[in-house]
Amino acid sequence: MRRTKEQAAETRRLILEAAERLFLERDYETVSLEEIAAAAGITRGAVHWHFHNKQGLLLAIR
């Protein structure tokens, strides 16, 4: 199923919020992409699609 731009933007927002919360709670180095995906309620593949890796995610938050 193809996602709309609005759905993609919402997924991106959920990932950013989950990642920021986890990074603040536990520190960047100790958080995995799997944990971020689970906290956002999405797949790890979705995190990779939007941000490629954890560093890309951190840069987007900053």
Confidence grade of residue 3 (pLDDT, cut at 50, 70, 90): confident
Angle between helices 44-51 and 5-26 (to 10 degrees): 100
Query: For 23-41, how does the pLDDT look when each residue is reduced to its tens digit (9 = 90+)?
Result: 999 999 999 999 999 999 9
Domain 5-61 sits in CATH 1.10.10.60 = yes
Confidence grade of residue 2 (pLDDT, cut at 50, 70, 90): low
Confidence grade of residue 1 (pLDDT, cut at 50, 70, 90): low
The confidence score (pLDDT) of residue 44 equals 94
Which sequence spans correspond to the domains of the chain?
Answer: 5-61
Which ranges of the chain does DSSP label H, i.e. alpha helix?
5-26, 33-40, 44-51, 54-61
